[in-house]
Amino acid sequence: MIGGLFIYNHKGEVLISRVYRDDIGRNAVDAFRVNVIHARQQVRSPVTNIARTSFFHVKRSNIWLAAVTKQNVNAAMVFEFLYKMCDVMAAYFGKISEENIKNNFVLIYELLDEILDFGYPQNSETGALKTFITQQGIKSQTKEEQSQITSQVTGQIGWRREGIKYRRNELFLDVLESVNLLMSPQGQVLSAHVSGRVVMKSYLSGMPECKFGMNDKIVIEKQGKGTADETSKSGKQSIAIDDCTFHQCVRLSKFDSERSISFIPPDGEFELMRYRTTKDIILPFRVIPLVREVGRTKLEVKVVIKSNFKPSLLAQKIEVRIPTPLNTSGVQVICMKGKAKYKASENAIVWKIKRMAGMKESQISAEIELLPTKDKKKWARPPISMNFEVPFAPSGLKVRYLKVFEPKLNYSDHDVIKWVRYIGRSGIYETRC
Amino acid sequence: MTDSKYFTTTKKGEIFELKAELNSDKKEKKKEAVKKVIASMTVGKDVSALFPDVVNCMQTDNLELKKLVYLYLMNYAKSQPDMAIMAVNTFVKDCEDPNPLIRALAVRTMGCIRVDKITEYLCEPLRKCLKDEDPYVRKTAAVCVAKLHDINAQLVEDQGFLDTLKDLISDSNPMVVANAVAALSEIAESHPSSNLLDLNPQSINKLLTALNECTEWGQIFILDCLASYTPKDDREAQSICERVTPRLSHANSAVVLSAVKVLMKFMEMLSKDLDYYGTLLKKLAPPLVTLLSAEPELQYVALRNINLIVQKRPEILKHEMKVFFVKYNDPIYVKLEKLDIMIRLASQANIAQVLAELKEYATEVDVDFVRKAVRAIGRCAIKVEQSAERCVSTLLDLIQTKVNYVVQEAIVVIKDIFRKYPNKYESVIATLCENLDSLDEPEARAAMIWIVGEYAERIDNADELLESFLEGFHDESTQVQLQLLTAIVKLFLKKPTETQELVQQVLSLATQDSDNPDLRDRGYIYWRLLSTDPVAAKEVVLAEKPLISEETDLIEPTLLDELICYIGTLASVYHKPPSAFVEGGRGVVHKSLPPRTASSESTESPETAPAGAPPGEQLDVVPTQGDLLGDLLNLDLGPPVSGPPLATSTVQMGAVDLLGGGLDSLIGAPNFVAPPAAAVPANLGAPMGSGLSDLFDLTSGVGTLSGSYVAPKAVWLPAMKAKGLEISGTFTRQAGSISMDLQLTNKALQVMTDFAIQFNRNSFGLAPAAPLQVHAPLSPTQTVEISLPLRTAGSVMKTEPLNNLQVAVKNNIDVFYFSTLYPLHILFVEDGKMDRQMFLATWKDIPNENEAQFQIRDCPLNAEAVSSRLQSSNIFTVARRNVEGQDMLYQSLKLTNGIWVLAELRIQPGNPSFMLSLKCRAPEVSQHVYQAYETILKN
């Protein structure tokens, strides 16, 4: 199990050091600093073995978090734990920075004592932790309160406390998708997938039982067996989900057997599910590059983008990034729409368009002057990448329902105000040129 | 006011000031002072001098302050054990507090304080807390048992905490169950033989129920524990799999990987014809792909594991090639791993896409990545014949770029392509020769030299080319020198007339001017061959080479199987068994996949080799690229890999066939006069790692060696524990006498003298038969080897375990104690053969309840080999029968104290698992006799 946990600043000074196991000595702190933080070359692996001691690290801005062990631990668990640790810290004091860590070091030690016992991760849900790790000390809690805390921390529904009350029962569902594409210069899709998340913000009283439904092909087809005309009505409306994962509140065995998604949600915001689709993806934009080398000192680039969705919808925050060689001396750009600039520090032409409706087309052309170099190595021609945001789900996912039942309190599914929003963003959306 | 100010106080006299503040009456000031102390502790300052003052602050109702003081205590209690006692009272009081959070805090902290006197006081509160009404306290107490076990294992056993812990597995609270499982699993690791976890269908059922209810971390503990269970048949395996599969949809990647581990392991027991088997295979792919959308560090862990899974069951991901395509801004460690998996998944169906990708990668910036991409192109050519032509032309394009490292890599892989497809692509040799001057890496130079030597008849100026290398012969690396030697001999055999001078030059360089024994020996062999029988030389040196296999870098099958059992853990990231990087006995229990035991149908031999690569072909694998990342991790000793030695040793190109052939004749001809430097004895000690050592292994395997199997020396007493004296040793039995072979190393700075040794009383009365004689004082860094004769007439006391031996060694510095386990077969006496009648009678006479059954897995020997090997360790085959195609060996052995052990060994041809039944009047020895069997047969 985890033998110790250290947090360093960018210089390698220790900000937090907590040792859980006897086999980890103080020298481990220095070993990591010398061999990883101060190492000359780039980090070649997130797991480092130094003198039979293994170090796992993650970096958040310029803060290093390192877990240390001498045993054959579950490596995936250690990384998941480090991420969780970052989430918990962020939930308590915001951004993970040297300043914030130093200001909250007592709190961090208290958290580390609670969420890691002898190197074994314990309940690390912020919802539960915030009920008793408050930095205020335990103030004369009543016996009921205390047992409520402990039963929540150890209970089956560790992520929600009892007795939550809202005057207005409300919930928000965000379907957030990032669409990823790798396209060849000839327009052939090399790989494309959507990774999506359903994020829920719930402000519901009591212990509500929720059921979430979407146009999952498997579910639709199952239901469709009875009513044949409904399948034809829904037609191509359903989508094939390659794989999905759920927040720990979702009953996985129920999903496995009936493919229904039922859960008691945590209070406030959480990520209900993640999913991935690869079939029938709507690619919101198509990029058509044309690069011509004119002699040794000049490049001509022309890039056309085409929007491919309903004309009534608007895409926003469109940005096309066209890489330029390192020996670029000057660039001249002409674009039909938006603004384009050559950014020498980033070795790229950045073309920005605020809004663009569906089924439109726009174009940019640039002349790139190059300095003659002796460098034999050819320019690697990194791909042209694109950023955008569209108000629909490129996977085609639709929320069909989210039902709320709370038998103990007197509000019904109809009384809950529900909001659904779809946002599609570019993930890694690249076209080779 | 912020807390960061505590990090900045660095003035002198700080400790003194802090002391004053700690003793202040004002609560706030006290708290401030403790915070400062903790901040100083964090940055590594020694604040242990403040111990009494800090401990004084402990009795407070301010929980924040209390936690800070506890934190301090955990750090410094060990350095001030006497003072730490002051804290005990508060702890004990806190364990009775009405607030469960405080009770838990007290017991949690007490377990972290490794001071004997405190642990004594811990027992009572811990016992209460394990039965506390509040689940939060119970789950904390469960972990505390593991802590206590780490400090004092005996105490935990004596106090009966293990039983209480076992009871907690049936607790109503899932988190208590999860922590109890975690604690028990850890304790069980240090007692490999004990059946601590006692997994049976009932307890498994309880765990599976808790799995649905506990936190993500708890699910990991439970799944990891499930993975160590072996279901009794395929039906049970299937039902567990069914209940574990829902976990594949968990958001936590570690839960997913642990579930994959359970499924991969239990799948081994399912018949491939089963519908369920196919369903399971299909279910595994999507979650594995999803892992690749996690954060990069987790992707890396996932990819290292997928690498194993793809080798074990290639069918799972064969259609998922695209997801392993490298993204431009993937971190380098993710890129390299993806590339590895791409090569493994490459097939005729997807080769066009893969090649297009690889070509793209070869123009990237990162040198390691580009190199690996170039090699990958070569691997594709070898793996998919249809693509070979395109690969070669791609490689030639890359050579034209003249980027130095690209050219070198390309040449290394083209050499392999030549070997795989002889007489097909040699037309490119001319292009390769143009780049001769730019090669500066040994591997590339060696590859080029090999090509020149191999195709000497097609290259007009081959002699000139090789001669140009000869000028700086002594500056070349061994790899290049060996290759050059072989290449010139080849050239000579092909064009004898014009290259006589050259060959003489290289032979004398190799034999007379070199200190390298490998080079010298190879030189002598060639010399001798050429001078005695040129025709034979031609047959040997220019022999047809074995084909190279399609797959490289395959993990050796038994290691792969073991690593599959460690999916998700560090072992799977390093691709090494835990024993290679974990110290001591912890967690180094060898794991293996369960054999398929069908409940209904006949037993089939379990599959160990991945599809398409039976173990025999392994020998032909040319180990080309060293795993780049692997090298980074190679800070440790290499893993003790078992299995065919050739597959893992670094075989030089052409070394196998040449030396293999050469030495056969060498050994076969007794009147052979060795060249000046006496090659044969030198070889024994030379680290050749090639054909030679195998030849010698073979001869010893035939049975020339008398005496029983001797385990390699293990470190018994590390230098750290014995003021610089390191003792390693092993036990031997030869010609009826037992001895303890010791190796004493002085790792201290002073001279050691006056050695003496003594044994504690033990089960078989082992005692030194002579005093420990170290003739000269042992000076620093010096090592002596001593063989200490033993007798078995010492006083007897039953030890636990039975074969435990406690030893005391004295020298001028101190007395040191250690204990070791001796293999039981050193006690098997030479007259242990029972006659047949006697055997039958005794077998019947011993009651059936004394019979113990064991399974010996993965032993590839046949009945004869087993019998002869056991006999050399004094296990005698009394009779042999063949029943329904199975060989039954009836064996007997006698221990030094006169105890007879009878055995029945059932061997089924083609099945590497043997059944061993042992009968003995003293059944407690059976377990150890079984272990002796294991060691003898597997080594």
Span B319-364, pLDDT tens digits: 889 889 998 889 999 999 999 999 999 998 899 889 989 988 988 8
Calculate the dihedral angle through the C-alpha atoms of B281, B282, B284, B288, rounding to the nearest 10 degrees.
130
Residue A371 lies in a domain: yes
Calculate the dihedral angle through the C-alpha atoms of B917, B922, B923, B926, rounding to the nearest 10 degrees.
-60
- Domain containing B732 — which CATH number? 2.60.40.1150
Q: What is the mean pLDDT of residues B73-81?
A: 84
Can you give the pLDDT at residue B813?
82
CA distance B252 to B250: 5
Residues A93, A8: one domain?
Answer: yes
Residue B351 lies in a domain: yes
Nearest by CB to residue B635, choosing from A16, A50, A184, is A50
Judged by average pLDDT, the poorest of A136-145, B660-669, B832-841 is B660-669
CA distance B873 to B709: 6
From A124, A154, A181, give the residue that closes a domain. A124
Residue A401 lies in a domain: yes
Instruction: Report the SS3 class of residue A197.
Output: strand
Residues A212, A73: one domain?
Answer: no
CA distance A235 to A63: 51
List, in order, residues 6 or more apart from B774 with CB less than 8 Å away: B744, B753, B755, B784, B786
Query: Any idea what DSSP says for residue A330?
Result: E
Residue A352 annotated as binding site: yes
Residues A364, A420: one domain?
Answer: no
User: Which chain B residue is nearest to residue A44, measuring alpha carbons?
Assistant: B333
B245: closest CA among B274, B212, B277, B283? Answer: B283
Residue B920's DSSP bridge partners are B901
Amino acid identity of A31?
A: A
Residue A147 lies in a domain: no
**Contact in structure between A215 and A234 (CB atoms under 8 Å):** yes
CA B653 to chain centre: 27
Residues of A in contact with B94 (CB under 8 A): none
Residue A162 lies in a domain: no
Q: For residue range B455-493, what is the model confidence (pLDDT) as tens digits? A: 888 888 888 888 888 888 888 899 999 999 999 999 999
Indicate if the pLDDT at residue B274 is higher than 50: yes
DSSP string, B676-738: TT-HHHHHHHS---SHHHHHHHHHIIIII--S---PPPEEEE-GGGGTTEEEEEEEEEETTEE
Residue B794 lies in a domain: yes
Nearest by CB to residue A44, choosing from B298, B357, B629, is B629
Instruction: Report the SS3 class of residue A423.
Output: strand
From B792, B822, B852, give the residue that closes a domain. B822
Could you tell me how many CB contacts below 8 A there are between chain A and chain B?
A: 298
Residues of A in contact with B246 (CB under 8 A): 252-253, 255-256
Residues A276, A291: one domain?
Answer: no
Residues B811, B903: one domain?
Answer: no
Residues of B in contact with A51 (CB under 8 A): 635
Residues A182, A323: one domain?
Answer: no
Residues B847, B796: one domain?
Answer: no
CA distance A104 to A110: 10
**Contact in structure between B804 and B821 (CB atoms under 8 Å):** yes
**Contact in structure between B190 and B586 (CB atoms under 8 Å):** yes
Domain span at B388: 346-439
Residues A178, A258: one domain?
Answer: yes
Can you give the pLDDT at residue B683?
38
User: Does the distance separating the beta carbons of A378 and B401 come in below 8 Å?
Assistant: yes
Only one residue has tokens 């066939």, namely: B657
Instruction: Report the SS3 class of residue A146.
Output: helix
Q: What percent of chain B has pLDDT over 70?
A: 86
Q: Tell which A residues from 202 to 261 touch B, by Cβ distance under 8 Å.
A: 242-248, 251-253, 255-256
Angle between helices B655-668 and B478-494 (to 10 degrees): 70
Domain span at A295: 285-390
**Side-chain half-sphere of A353: how many Cα atoms within 13 Å?**
24
Q: Which two tokens stand for residue B173?
A: 């609270």
Q: Which two tokens stand for residue A250?
A: 């979702």
Residues B871, B774: one domain?
Answer: no
Judged by average pLDDT, the poorest of B218-222, B296-300, B885-889, B890-894 is B885-889
Residues B720, B788: one domain?
Answer: yes
Nearest by CB to residue B3, choosing from A102, A125, A146, is A102
From the candidates B1, B2, B4, B224, which should be mutated to test the interface with A, based on the most A CB atoms within 10 A?
Answer: B4
CA distance B864 to B870: 10
CA distance B891 to A177: 69
Indicate if the pLDDT at residue B621 is higher than 50: no
Can you give the pLDDT at residue A51?
86
Residue A356 lies in a domain: yes
Residue B514 lies in a domain: yes
Higher pLDDT, A202 or B879: A202
Q: Which two tokens stand for residue B793?
A: 């007439």
Residues A250, A360: one domain?
Answer: no
Indicate if the pLDDT at residue B122 is higher than 50: yes
Total residues found in chain B within this entry: 939
CB burial string A12-36: b at 16+ within 10 A, e below? eebbbbbbbbebbeeebbebbbeeb
Judged by average pLDDT, the poorest of B31-40, B598-607, B908-917, B922-931 is B598-607
Residues A32, A176: one domain?
Answer: no
Nearest by CB to residue B249, choosing from A193, A246, A376, is A246
DSSP string, A199-263: EEEEE--SS-EEEEEE-BHHHHHHHHTT-HHHHHHHGGG-B--SEEEE-TTB-HHHHHHH--EEE
pTM score = 0.70
Can you give the pLDDT at residue B567?
95
Can you give the pLDDT at residue B829?
86
Residues B922, B833: one domain?
Answer: yes
Residue A49 lies in a domain: yes
Check whether the bond before B860 is cis (ω within 30° of 0).
no
Is A191 near chain B, with CB under 8 Å?
Answer: yes
For residue B572, give Cα distances in angstroms to A155, B283, B405, B612, B629.
Answer: 33, 21, 31, 23, 13
Q: What percent of chain A has pLDDT over 90?
A: 62
Residues A333, A364: one domain?
Answer: yes
Residues of B in contact with A45 (CB under 8 A): 300, 333, 629, 632-633
Q: Tell which A residues from 159 to 188 touch B, by Cβ distance under 8 Å.
A: 182, 184
Domain total of chain A: 3
Judged by average pLDDT, the poorest of A110-114, B232-236, B670-674 is B670-674
Residues A276, A411: one domain?
Answer: yes
Strands (E), A93-214: 116-117, 120-121, 170-183, 189-203, 209-214
Residues of A in contact with B212 (CB under 8 A): 251-253
List, in order, residues 6 or more apart from B728 with CB less than 8 Å away: B713, B714, B715, B716, B717, B742, B743, B745
Query: Any idea what DSSP says for residue A52?
Result: T
Residue A140 lies in a domain: no
From the candidates B70, B136, B247, which should be mutated to test the interface with A, based on the most A CB atoms within 10 A?
Answer: B136
pLDDT confidence band for B637 (50 / 70 / 90)? very low
Strands (E), B42-89: none
Q: Which two tokens stand for residue B905?
A: 């060994």
User: Which chain B residue is nearest to residue A275, measuring alpha carbons?
Assistant: B290
Strands A261-263 and B815-821: unpaired
Residues of B in contact with A184 (CB under 8 A): 356
Q: For residue range A169-226, what is the model confidence (pLDDT) as tens digits? A: 999 999 999 999 989 888 889 889 999 999 999 999 999 999 999 998 888 888 765 5
Can you give the pLDDT at residue B598?
56
Helix H or strand E encompassing B457: none
Residues B353, B455: one domain?
Answer: no
Interface pTM, i.e. ipTM:
0.83
**B427 CA: distance to closest CA in chain A (Å):** 27
Nearest by CB to residue B570, choosing from A75, A80, A376, is A75
Indicate if the pLDDT at residue B623 is higher than 50: no
Residues B915, B845: one domain?
Answer: yes
Assign 3-class secondary structure to B376-432: HHHHHHHHCHHHHHHHHHHHHHHHHCCCHHHHHHHHHHHHHHHHHCCCCCHHHHHHH
Calculate the dihedral angle through the C-alpha atoms of B499, B505, B510, B511, rounding to the nearest 10 degrees.
110
Indicate if the pLDDT at residue A378 is higher than 80: no
- Domain containing A425 — which CATH number? 2.60.40.1170
Residues B445, B528: one domain?
Answer: yes
Residue B383 lies in a domain: yes
CA distance B504 to B488: 10
**Contact in structure between B827 and B895 (CB atoms under 8 Å):** yes
Residues B845, B889: one domain?
Answer: yes
List, in order, residues 6 or more apart from A414 with CB less than 8 Å away: none
Helix H or strand E encompassing B919: strand B914-920
**Contact in structure between A122 and B217 (CB atoms under 8 Å):** yes
B741: closest CA among B763, B716, B765, B764? Answer: B716
Can you give the pLDDT at residue B817?
84
Instruction: Report the SS3 class of residue B222.
Output: helix
Mean pLDDT of chain B: 81
Q: For residue range A256-309, what is the model confidence (pLDDT) as tens digits? A: 888 899 999 998 889 999 999 998 999 999 999 998 888 888 899 999 999 999
Residue A364 lies in a domain: yes
Strands (E), B135-195: none
Residues A302, A348: one domain?
Answer: yes
Residues B720, B810: one domain?
Answer: yes
CA B56 to chain centre: 49
From the candidates B78, B99, B261, B292, which should be mutated to test the interface with A, based on the most A CB atoms within 10 A?
Answer: B99
Q: Which two tokens stand for residue B811?
A: 């020298």
Strands A170-183 and A417-431: parallel
CA distance B336 to B111: 43
Q: What is the mean pLDDT of residues B718-746?
A: 84
Residue B545 lies in a domain: no
Residues of A in contact with B580 (CB under 8 A): none
Q: Which two tokens stand for residue B440?
A: 């500066």
DSSP string, B772-784: ----S-B-TT-EE
Which sign, positive or negative, has the C-alpha torsion A149, A151, A157, A161?
Answer: negative
Residues B932, B842: one domain?
Answer: yes
Is A189 near chain B, with CB under 8 Å?
Answer: no
CA distance A65 to A95: 14
B928: closest CA among B802, B841, B809, B829? Answer: B802
From the candidates B103, B291, B573, which should be mutated to test the interface with A, based on the most A CB atoms within 10 A?
Answer: B573
User: Does the distance separating the beta carbons of B287 and A158 come in below 8 Å?
Assistant: no
List, in order, residues 6 or more apart from B134 with CB less than 8 Å away: A147, A150, B100, B103, B104
Q: What is the mean pLDDT of residues A378-382?
A: 76
Is B224 near chain A, with CB under 8 Å?
Answer: yes
Residue A403's DSSP bridge partners are A211
CA distance B114 to A169: 52
Residues B386, B359: one domain?
Answer: yes
Only one residue has tokens 């070198």, namely: B408
For residue B876, give Cα distances in angstroms to A19, B828, B831, B855.
Answer: 54, 10, 9, 19
Residue B93 lies in a domain: no
Is B903 near chain A, with CB under 8 Å?
Answer: no
H-type helices in B848-912, by residue range?
863-872
Query: Any idea what DSSP says for residue B923?
Result: G
List, in order, residues 6 or more apart from B81 with CB less than 8 Å away: B115, B116, B117
Residue B838 lies in a domain: yes
Only one residue has tokens 């809004």, namely: A355
- Domain containing A52 — which CATH number? 3.30.450.60
Strands A47-50 and A209-214: unpaired
Residue B744 lies in a domain: yes
Residue A360 annotated as binding site: no
Residue A84 annotated as binding site: no
Instruction: Report the SS3 class of residue B331.
Output: coil
Residues A263, A334: one domain?
Answer: no
Is A369 near chain B, with CB under 8 Å?
Answer: no
